Amino acid sequence: MTNPFIFDPRDPESKFPYGAVPAGTQVRFTVRPPRAGGYSRVILTARFESRDNAVVERILLWHGIEGARDVFTGTLETGEYVGLVWYTLRLEGLDGRSAELGKYQLTVYDDSETVPGWFGEGLTYQIFPDRFRRRAIPDPTGMVGGRTVHQSWEEEPVYLPDEHGEIRNRDFFGGSLAGVREKLTYLRRLGVETIYFCPIFEGVENHRYGTGDYEKIDPMLGDEAQFRLLCEEAHHLGMRIMLDGVFNHTGYISRYFNGDGSYPSEVPGAAQSTESPYYPWYHFTHWPDRYDSWWGIYSLPAVNESESTYLDYIIRGENSIVKRWLRAGADGWRLDVADELPDSFVHALHTAAREAKKDAVVIGEVWEDGSNKIAYGVRRKHILGGHCDGLMNYPFRNAAISYLLGGDARWFRETMEGLRANYPSTAYYSAMNALGTHDTPRILTLLGVGSPCTEYPKSWRADFRMSEEEYARGKARLKLGAVLLYAFPGSPTLYYGDEAGMEGFEDPFNRRTFPWGREDSELVSWFTALGCIRSWSQALRKGDISYVEADGPVLAFRRTWEEESMLVALNAGAEPASLPLSGPMKDLLTGEVFPAPGARTMEAALPPCTARLLVPLRLHLACRAKETI
């Protein structure tokens, strides 16, 4: 029995307050069964999961009649509890009949800290450092790892195994921090407010997710002085810097594990001596050749995050890694594989980050609904307060791509409203929303071709380039998806080069070099216009969201902040559609005014594969978006 007219957990008329609630909130429940059902009592059963699954029952009292319905209402005290509450509603009749609604999730969080708003409001740009911009061809001599450097920026990344059957990721292109500094004004023109770097610390692989030395910027990228200068110049332009914290594992080739002896032996690594200060950081089943590693990948030995000396080094020490790089100029951390880090570790890291910089932000990599994620048998506390301020929003990506490829807009709304109901508002508005990342196929290719094409050999995907028809289709869908991305609550996150028309399937084809001088100028202008609108529109930066329509290919929602309102309308279908309006409106993307002169109805036309950002004509704020497109 799930009739929303009886009880809808996402309707404030049924459950108030809406969504997740701070600890100490008294939550009111109202159930409205039809009088013809003959129900005389409603019992709320609530299970407080983090309180040893303690069960509380509350009788909802009859409150009166609304039309043909009885009204039962009652409250549940949350007290000092923080965690998930799972509840059901049992309707009982005098004749012994009963019906049950639920189970439903209630998220109770700790709101004792203020989450900085800067991250969620502005545009984030993700950079894979080796592939964004290089100033000169670097010389890898003396660098750890046996690296090679592509002489041409336009060459293809290596994807084939070496003579030992291993994919080593030791081919570099030489992107650098100096190269990023050279393009800071370009990023600012795009509307970027946060630059999120994939790992920049010394590491032998081009992705640098196997950290060799947390205390050193990788020498191919630059040094600490270059990093500080980059942060200073970015701050001067109104941009912040977010670093990738890879703390679940280190590199096999690192000063800590030192599996091949590449690092100086004055302080031996864990694989060199059981007396090494780093030995307790790892779990050996047979020293030195068998040990825990991330997903069984030998080159990424897993660390024991509960080891006291590791905690001191990464988090707790006065000059810990987390604090040191924030003091050097970084503004936040994105935590790699956050759900594989103990909650206690994430909490300690969050505390240290705020100590080092009071408005530092911590964002976690989680691929699912982070409010109820279970990892390694433990319900995680990611967004319950004092842990992650926000999460990477892969549910948004999945729902958006499904919609753009022909799925029903209702499913997008249902998925996003499920997150909004489960997440604390601060976490929902601090989400890192993206259509593509370094871990997914290029969004342009995915939208143009329609799938990741994993049924074909990897060599086929390596050589694949879209036809003109596929490129045009992907581009049209990407422009539509970009409007959705930039208009949605949370930080729109742009993966480097998506605005330039980069294509490719999975790693490493999604990590090709930025095509400087060969960009798709129409796409760059489109993203620049959206960045402009996002930068000044308070409604898009922090406004409420309410859905106007979600039916088949048409998706429309309104963002509202104080007196400013923006109506976002998309038609992902192949047939024209229209959207009723309550008054004259102007599309910021085209300059068109609706209704059109002479029109008989108050509506906005939505041609196939079209998006509009509509503002009331009387309140139109000049952005000159049309000229930038």
Query: What tens digit of pLDDT does each residue of 2-30 get?
Result: 466 799 999 999 999 999 999 999 999 99
**Residue 96 pLDDT level (bands cut at 50, 70, 90):** confident
Candidate list 121, 365, 369, 498, residue with the active-site label = 365
Identify whether 100 is a catalytic site residue. no
If you write DSSP's letter for every residue of 480-547 in order, what string do you get? HHHHHHHHSSSEEEEETTGGGT----STTGGGPPP-TT---HHHHHHHHHHHHHHHH-HHHHH-EEEE
Q: Is residue 347 within 8 Å of 362, Cβ to Cβ?
A: no
> CB neighbours of 303 closer than 8 A, spacing ≥ 6?
247, 248, 249, 250, 281, 282, 310
Is 387:346 a contact under the CB 8 Å cutoff? yes
For residue 544, indicate whether it is catalytic. no
Question: 370, 249, 388: which is closest to 332 by C-alpha?
Answer: 388
Mean local confidence (pLDDT), 287-293: 97
* pLDDT tens digits along 62-73: 999 999 999 999
**What's the pLDDT at 261?**
93
| 587, 595 contact by CB (below 8 A) | no
- 625 pLDDT band, cuts 50/70/90, is very low
Mean of pLDDT values over 525-532: 98
DSSP 8-state class, residue 61: E
Tokens of 224: 């600490």
Q: Which CATH superfamily includes the segment(s) 131-242+305-536?
A: Glycosidases (3.20.20.80)
Q: Which of 117, 64, 115, 72 is nearest to 92 (CA)?
A: 72
**If DSSP codes are grouped into helix, strand and coil, which group holds residue 234?**
helix
Calpha distance 415→397 (Å, rounded): 11
Q: What is the tens place of the pLDDT at every residue in 73-82? A: 999 999 999 9
Contact 159, 205 (CB under 8 A): no
Two tokens, residue 380: 């995680």
Which distant-in-sequence residues (6+ apart) come within 8 Å of 239 by Cβ? Answer: 184, 187, 188, 192, 193, 194, 195
In whole angstroms, give the CA distance from residue 568 to residue 623: 16
Looking at domain 542-628, its CATH architecture is Sandwich (2.60)
417 and 391 Cβ atoms separated by less than 8 Å: no
Q: What does pTM read for this prediction?
A: 0.96
Distance CA 585, CA 617 (A): 5
**3-state secondary structure at position 460:** helix
* Residues of the chain by 3-state class (helix, strand, coil), percent to 5: 25, 30, 45
Say yes or no: do domains 15-109 and 131-242+305-536 share a fold.
no
Residue 466 sits at φ, ψ, to 5 deg, of: -65, 150
Section 138-165 average pLDDT = 95
Give me the chain's average pLDDT, please. 96
Q: Give the model's pLDDT for residue 620.
A: 56
**What's the CA gap between 255 and 277, in Å, rounded?**
11
Beta strand 564-571 with 610-616 is: antiparallel
Q: 490-515 burial string, b = 16+ CB within 10 Å, else e?
A: bbbbbbbbbbbbbbbbbbbbbbbbbe
The pLDDT of residue 623: 43
pLDDT at residue 232, as a whole number: 98
Q: Active site residue: 336, 343, 369, 506, which one?
A: 336
Asked whether the predicted pLDDT for residue 1 surpasses 70, the reply is: no
Is the Cβ–Cβ distance between 278 and 272 less than 8 Å? Answer: no
The number of CA neighbours under 13 Å toward the Cβ of 202 is 21
Q: What's the token pair of residue 325?
A: 């790089």
* Residues 130, 335: Cα–Cα separation, whole Å: 20
The pLDDT of residue 4 is 63
**What are the domain boundaries of the chain?**
15-109, 131-242+305-536, 249-304, 542-628
The per-residue pLDDT for 115 is 95
**Fold of the domain spanning 15-109:** Immunoglobulin-like (2.60.40)
